[in-house]
Amino acid sequence: MFGFSQTMKGCIGIAMHATYATIGQCGWKKGELLNPRVFCINNNPRNITSQDWCTAINNVGLTGSTCSVALPPSILKHHVLQLPDMENTELTEAVGWELADRIGCDRELIQIDAKRLGSSGDVLGVSIDQSTLASILDPLYTAGLRPTKIEPSCYALGRVLSMRHRRTADRSSVRAVLDFSKDDSAMLVLAGDETVFYKRLGYSGDALIDAVSLHVGVTADQATLMLAASDQESDEAMSRAVRDATRSLHEQIARDAMKCLRHYGVTSRGPIPSELIVTGSAGWNRNLSQILETACNMKVFPDWDVEYFKDISKNQSRCYGWQTALGTSLSFCDGKDRRQQLKTTNGVAA
């Protein structure tokens, strides 16, 4: 395992989302993030050209050509399966044929990888068709980048939230994570630096904006500003209107989060989570946190309270997906015994 005293430089991290992409880079030194830098490209990843990538990299001052790419469920399809114990190669092969059958696609036309989630028998299988993968990778190669790893975004997020939980003894430290982004959401459970539970929830920050817009009768842009301002408690009438507009959706999220934690508690053989971290570009607001605390009966706090995130500037924290971009930048920091996901060689995922 890597010691806290080591200094490590991350590669270029690319976090793709449904309607935008975030690039970032950071290092790790003595238990702290080193020189974190992020930049958001507001465009559909499939429409971002090689010139766009070059311009973004130059604007933010990223170095090197090696990059790691994190893909969300909207691009890299996520499937949670129940499979018996078997060797890693056999597991990937079994998941490959299972997903090809589910998707109704020729096995040779899709790339597959799989990883066990704890000891419950759950397996996270991911799939992507080769044409989609090529459309994403080709502009990166043309821009002079060298993609060496492709992984699910949840792995990158789990990694950046676990940089101080990298020893075997740390696996007794179990944390729940609600990843609530602009266009998606998921529940994770982390034991040490391992992801031991994953479930996509499907809620989105856009749904919250729509709820406020419809309830109050304002535009989407105005609803976005109201959501942000409601946490400041400067206008009680406005905060109350936002709370009323979002209560139903927040309660649904809290119920599903509680169901996830109960499922994990029943199926796992280890400790239950002691805290819930809320992350993602649309995750934190005091109304949701209060409902989550009541429903889950545990401490709930935002990702910016993680001690080594203190050097993330306010401008950087407004960049959608900065957590995932920095997490995949540190992808090489995985221990040698960690299984790698969807490595790419000469533009083809292994």
pLDDT for 233 equals 62
| Two structure tokens written together for 80 | 């949670």
pLDDT tens, 96-146? 888 888 888 888 888 888 899 988 889 999 999 999 999 999 999 999 999
271 within 8 A of 172, measured Cβ to Cβ: yes
pLDDT-derived band of residue 232, with 50, 70 and 90 as boundaries?
low
Please give the span between the terminal C-alpha atoms of the chain, in angstroms, as a whole number. Answer: 25
pLDDT by residue (tens digit) across 302-349?
998 899 998 887 778 888 899 999 999 999 876 543 333 344 433 434
- Provide CB contacts within 8 A for 315, sequence distance 6+: none
Nearest to 33 by CA among 332, 340, 329, 302: 329
Domains along the chain?
1-161+309-350 (3.30.420.380), 168-305 (3.30.420.40)
Predicted TM-score (pTM) of the model is 0.87
Q: What are the tens digits of pLDDT across the range 18-56?
A: 889 999 999 998 889 999 999 999 998 889 999 999 999
**Among 319, 283, 281, 332, residue whose Cα is nearest residue 37:** 319
Strand 66-71 relative to strand 146-152, pairing: parallel
Question: In angstroms, rounded to a whole number, what is the distance separating the alpha carbons of residues 139 and 41?
Answer: 14
Rounded Cα distance, 77 and 97, in Å:
15
217-237: average pLDDT: 79
Q: What is the dihedral of CA 257, 187, 117, 104, to 10 degrees?
A: 110
Q: Which helix or strand (DSSP H or E) is residue 112 part of?
A: strand 110-116
